[in-house]
Amino acid sequence: MTASHVYSVTMGNSDNSVNMMRGGYHHGDLRRALITEGLRLLAERDVDLLSLREVARGVGVSATSVYRHFPDKDALMTALAMEGLDLLGAAQRRAGEGAGGGRASFAAIGRAYVRFALANPALFRLIFASPALASEKEKGDYMPEAGALLRDNAIIEATRAGGDPDIHAKSAWALVHGLAMLMLDGQIPPDEALIDRVIC
């Protein structure tokens, strides 16, 4: 078996951006290698410019090898979006744990959401502004860590301040997602201090 290259996913210094490091590639890990290469390419370009052939070339396999794991581009996009949600959830969990609990943690996971969006714009748009996850949502029981963190912190906030946990969750999500999109779309300049002041 010949060796090629793969990239391992690590979080950047900000714990929000996705970085890649070269490592050895073995064909038994082809699906993981393709997802990792897709993430690397999304860090450089928009989703529309990503192709299965390019992902295969980056890993060092033929385009037909990709179809054993992803029958079409939509299937790869779904896998990339799910991986992106996992990375987002991990970044939010770390931020929440670092804040020490309570309202401070709820705010910290919200700030991590915005910073993840700014550090990974193409991946963020794939997750939240494309139909990539539609098939997973239709299953009805799909709950990524990011969603669970939002739900759990909304319940804690409702216990503290009163009100409906679902409304707390939707209000918090609307705030952080709205701020992220305004900054991504250039309506508001990206500003670390502003993120801290708005989400507190």
List, for residues 161-172, the tens digit of each pLDDT value: 999 999 999 999
Coil, strand or helix: which one is 44? coil
DSSP state letters, 105-166: HHHHHHHHHHHHHHH-HHHHHHHHSSGGGHHHHHTS----HHHHHHHHHHHHHHHHH-S-HH
Split at pLDDT 50, 70, 90, the class of 8 is: very low
Q: What is the average per-residue pLDDT within 189-193?
A: 97
Coil, strand or helix: which one is 24? strand
Instruction: Please say whether the beta carbons of 88 and 116 come within 8 A.
Output: yes
Instruction: Please say whether the beta carbons of 39 and 83 come within 8 A.
Output: yes
Per-domain boundaries in the chain: 4-71, 74-198
Mean pLDDT lowest for which of 18-27, 113-122, 184-193?
Answer: 18-27
CA-wise closest residue to 26 among 53, 57, 78, 61: 61
Q: pLDDT digits over 83-93, tens only?
A: 999 999 999 99
Per-residue pLDDT at 114 exceeds 90: yes
* Amino acid sitting at position 104: A
User: Is pLDDT larger for residue 150 or for residue 12?
Assistant: 150
Q: pLDDT digits over 61-79, tens only?
A: 998 999 999 999 999 999 9
* Token pair belonging to 62: 């033929």
Contacts of 49 (CB under 8 A, 6+ apart): none
CA-wise closest residue to 15 among 127, 102, 100, 93: 93
pTM above 0.75, yes or no: yes
φ, ψ dihedrals at 119, nearest 5°: -80, -20
Integer Cα distance of 136 and 9 in angstroms: 23
At the topology level, CATH places domain 74-198 in: Tetracycline Repressor; domain 2 (1.10.357)
DSSP state of 26: -
Q: What is the mean pLDDT of the chain?
A: 88
